[in-house]
Amino acid sequence: MPTYSYRCDDCESDFDLLRSRSDREAAASCPKCGNGNGRRLMTVCNVRSKGDGGGSSRVGGGGECASCQSGSCASCGSR
């Protein structure tokens, strides 16, 4: 199950919840104030995978894709 980040609209605290993908949009109760006004935040993850040459290549989260080294390319939309 993935972890999703939320922000409470009442007390503005950030918190994470372990939820199934089907429940990710359901109302989230804030652990600080107890209100159910948590909204899901957009977050970025950084994943490293082994490339064909045995080295690791960075995928996502860092502004570049596995096929570019400049940090800016048309295939991943990085700037």
Question: Phi then psi for 23, rounded to 5 degrees?
Answer: -100, 0
What average pLDDT does the chain have?
A: 75
Sorting pLDDT into bands at 50, 70 and 90, what band is 65?
low
pLDDT digits (tens, 9 = 90+) for 14-36: 999 998 888 888 889 999 999 98
59: pLDDT strictly greater than 60: no
Q: What is the pLDDT of residue 12?
A: 93
Largest CA distance in the chain: 50
In a domain, 72, yes or no: no
Regarding predicted confidence, which is higher, 58 or 32?
Answer: 32
CA atoms of 66 and 49, how far apart (whole Å): 9
In a domain, 54, yes or no: no
In a domain, 78, yes or no: no
For the chain, helix, strand, coil in percent to 5 are 5, 30, 65
Report residue 20 as tokens. 């199934």
Q: How many residues does the chain have?
A: 79
| Total domains present in the chain | 1
CA atoms of 28 and 7, how far apart (whole Å): 9
In a domain, 60, yes or no: no
